[in-house]
Structure 1
Amino acid sequence: MTRVAGRTAFITGGGSGVALGQAKIFAQAGCKVAIADIRQDHLDEAMAWFDQTDFQVMPVKLDITDRAAYAAAADAVEARLGPVELLFNTAGVSIFGPLEKATYEDWDWQLSVNLNGVINGIQTFVPRMIARGNGGHIVNTASMSAFVALKGTGIYCTTKMAIRGLSECLALDLAEHGIGVSMLCPGAVNTNIHEAVLTRPEHLRNTGYYGADPAMFAHLKKVIEVGMEPETLARYVLDGVEQDQLYILPYPEFRGTLEDIHMRVMMALARPEDDPDYEKRVAHGVPGGERRRADA
């Protein structure tokens, strides 16, 4: 069990959407919360809500791709709210279209936010958590795209599958320090994530896809407006953190798809009886064999 009450949570993207839902639910659970966001208008709107409560919430304007700014933000938050022991790498961006039309800038923008932004959070806070020895928990927001590839989502899917590998390895590395790791994989959520293109840096504007196109925004919003509400999703996250769950997967509509994907993986995997060198590799502790003996 991971205790959350009384601890300080740092939530990226906290001014809106999925991350704001997390901020509200974890504040209600007794956390002191820092909401970091690149958009001042989102921070202002979020604080207008929090100012009507007794929750301890601190807004932080932050570009999570800026490592020096990230370190400064961490110092400011910990000086005011205390040591950060709950880290939510939630901020993310998306833009969709066929890979053959992508520009380098399309790649660089999504990788810089969706992957490097998570890495920056980990690099900033994990050494502090370990040094203090009080444990803690990290939630990396990926997507069902961490498991499921869909046409037109190639760059986004690449970033989210990377978060899956990062999270699974991080959980193994941090277990000895009492720091839990969860990977949240949302499906459709009723947010305005499609407006993320408004925060795209000027030097990465060259795109093979779309910009601030009202018609495209309306189309994308229609797709996700039937999705789960952010606070509902955040309640799953709270339960997952308290229960130290590695995978937080609150979308049963993906069950059949995941079963099919994993069935095809297992069908493609060679069988021990067909490989004459199998026992030798297992006996010498080649990766995979050690896991098999531990499971047995």
Structure 2
Amino acid sequence: MKEQQSFVTAPDGVRLAVFEWGARSADTTVVLVHGYPDSHVVWRPIAEQLAERHHVVAYDVRGAGASDAPRRVSSYTLATLEADLGAVLQQVSPERPVHLVGHDWGSIQSWESVTGTALADRIASFTSVSGPCLDHVGQWFRSKLRRPSPRALGQLAWQSVHSWYIGYFHLPLLPPLLWRTAMVKAWPALLHAIEGVPRGSGAPTFPTDAVRGLALYRANMIPRLSRPRHRPTEIPVQVVLPQKDLYVTPSMAGQAPQPYVDRLWRRPLRAGHWAPLTHDAVLANWIDEFVTHIEGGPTAPALQRAEVNRPQQDGEQKEHAGKLVIVTGAGSGIGRATALAFAEAGAAVIAADLNAESAARTAHLASLLGAPRTGSYAVDVSDPAAMEDFAKAVAEEHGTPDVVVNNAGIGLGGAFLDTQTSDWDAVLGVNLMGVVHGCRLFGAMMKDHGNGGHIVNIASAAAYLPSRTLSAYATSKAAVLMLSECLRAELSDDGIGVSAVCPGFVNTAIAKATRYVGVSSSEQEKLRGKADRLYRMRNLPPERVADAVLRAVRENRPVVPVAAEARIGRALSRLSPGTLRAIARADLTPR
């Protein structure tokens, strides 16, 4: 999409360089305001994507890029920057309100207009990325000091550590000298090394932008933080919260605006401060979703979950409120118990099972327990094509999941030499490849979405307890355990946790459904009956496993054994594997 440049003159005579993409005849105009020490260049990847549906505008703020650079610090106050924005809006969209997006200082200065009265009727929505309202920050600091709990003081201290550079930028000589010398080459290299910003993506005017932009801090920080104003707004606001931001903590950025914004959406993003350069596709999608919603179009499921909930009557927020959870094998047993546990915790629940009626029943029960939204799907997890279709349907109808529980599994008992290739195909297809498909499809979706998440794979104590009568089943579960460990290491940088839950003898229908190889059909039924009686005598309810699943997500635990036999077996596998090998020689087939 070709970039078109023009100029607009601010009320005090400063010329601002304005850049546009897409057609002015588009139904919506999106205005992007860059931060420090950037220029409009930081928005190019996002602008080009948004221009497919919107008229997109970015401009170099005064002191940056191709815009004029006044010498006096007083020329960079928030009031002056607001007047600049007003001049730009008058030129690019004189008749219709625009959808404003700001990053870093671009967001800070945009808050001045969003919470003010001069341009309030010119702004349809606001998306803030890594740049809070300075007045809100000042009020947030005061609120924490008025109620100095350990948590509040910890949040204050943590944000203060992250804000060290503000004091440094107020020094008279060192900051501009460092920007002009050592940082010319060091800054792009640091952004690439620390945040993964692509090389060569910065503005060619960076050194002078950095020096001139120091005036932003000197003209505004101390006055606004020391004397914060009450700045409410009725404009819808979407706050993007980069979870690895080195300068703006998610707790402060997420909490500070809430008392002052009537309609607020919060969207965590697994990214650093320069998210527009590292996660441009995600941000472009989120901006488009928000603009579409505000303009009266369909609401994306993920955006719907991001809207800040009103406090409940008891004053407490449910643990998984606003989250989307997928559970496979949800038609009964551990799967159903897990789906219902998440529903009680406030999550939207998607129940998948080979049996469509059972999945639908679980979804119905989840809705009765308070799940804000449910869905059910019939799917064979061992079928790659069916899982592809399932993942696409979930993405289109519900959005990206926050938690995926790969629970579907089947049992198989008997001697290895009696186990046919078809038996191996069946048990590995469901128990292992079903987990692989779920991890691959939904893990990629979570990573692309940039919002983190959690994958729980239901393994078994058999994963580390060898048995001469469970070679195929134990192998499949051991593979699930190792897959979970490997995947946990791979996805940790993306904020996606992976846990393996290893139950013991759980009282579910799996005992009645387990196949035993090498026996007659009549003997098969006897073995199933005896196994079922043993499981019922043990009487470990599936709800215990569901609790363990929620604990695994809450605490991001790598491996969670459930029941005494699972915990003891886990300990023995580490401390005395010889003991387990001796026990494995016993024939534990029900007799």
TM score, norm. by length of structure 2: 0.41
Q: Which residue of 2 aligns with 1:87?
A: 404
Mind listing any 5+ residue stretches in structure 2 that lack a counterpart?
1-267, 269-318, 579-591
1:241 is the counterpart of 2:553: yes
C-alpha separation between the residues in 1 aligned to 2:355 and 2:561? 28
Q: Which residue of 2 aligns with 1:208?
A: 518
1:25 is the counterpart of 2:341: yes
Q: CA deviation at 1:128?
A: 1.1
C-alpha separation between the residues in 1 aligned to 2:360 and 2:416? 36
**One-letter identity of the residue aligned with 2:348:** K
Q: Percent identity?
A: 32
**One-letter identity of the residue aligned with 2:574:** H
C-alpha separation between the residues in 2 aligned to 1:210 and 1:80? 46
The answer to whether the 8 A contact 1:182-1:248 is kept is yes
Distance verdict in 2 for CA 1:245–1:210, change over 3 Å: farther
The answer to whether the 8 A contact 2:413-2:517 is kept is no
C-alpha separation between the residues in 2 aligned to 1:210 and 1:34? 39
The answer to whether the 8 A contact 1:24-1:231 is kept is no
C-alpha separation between the residues in 2 aligned to 1:58 and 1:126? 20
The answer to whether the 8 A contact 2:504-2:565 is kept is no
Q: How many pairs were matched up?
A: 259
CA RMSD of aligned residues (A): 2.5
The answer to whether the 8 A contact 2:491-2:497 is kept is yes
SS in 1 for 2:413: coil
Q: 1:182-201 residue pairs with structure 2 within 5 A?
A: 182-196=499-513
1:126 is the counterpart of 2:404: no
Task: Tell me which of 513, 521, 533 is aligned to 1:222.
Answer: 533
C-alpha separation between the residues in 1 aligned to 2:335 and 2:561? 16
SS in 2 for 1:249: strand
SS in 2 for 1:130: helix
SS in 2 for 1:183: strand
Q: Deviations over 1:184-208 (max 9, x none)?
A: 000011100134469xxxxxxx953
Deviating more after overlay: 254-263 vs 131-140: 254-263
The answer to whether the 8 A contact 1:4-1:242 is kept is no
Q: Which residue of 2 aligns with 1:74?
A: 391
**One-letter identity of the residue aligned with 1:160:** K
Q: Which residue of 1 aligns with 2:57?
A: none
Deviating more after overlay: 245-254 vs 178-187: 245-254
**One-letter identity of the residue aligned with 2:526:** A
Q: CA deviation at 1:253?
A: 3.2
Distance verdict in 2 for CA 1:11–1:257, change over 3 Å: closer
C-alpha separation between the residues in 2 aligned to 1:244 and 1:211? 44
C-alpha separation between the residues in 2 aligned to 1:210 and 1:83? 46
C-alpha separation between the residues in 1 aligned to 2:566 and 2:449? 39
Q: CA deviation at 1:15?
A: 0.8
- More relative contact order in 1 or in 2 (CA 8 Å, sep 6+)? 1
Distance verdict in 2 for CA 1:148–1:197, change over 3 Å: closer
Q: Which residue of 2 aligns with 1:39?
A: 355
Q: Deviations over 1:9-47 (max 9, x none)?
A: 111101111111110001111111111100134224434
SS in 2 for 1:59: strand
The answer to whether the 8 A contact 1:185-1:248 is kept is yes
Mind listing any 5+ residue stretches in structure 1 that lack a counterpart?
199-205, 267-296
Greater helix share, structure number = 1
C-alpha separation between the residues in 1 aligned to 2:320 and 2:367? 22
Q: CA deviation at 1:158?
A: 0.4
Q: Deviations over 1:217-249 (max 9, x none)?
A: 321211212232112221121112111101111
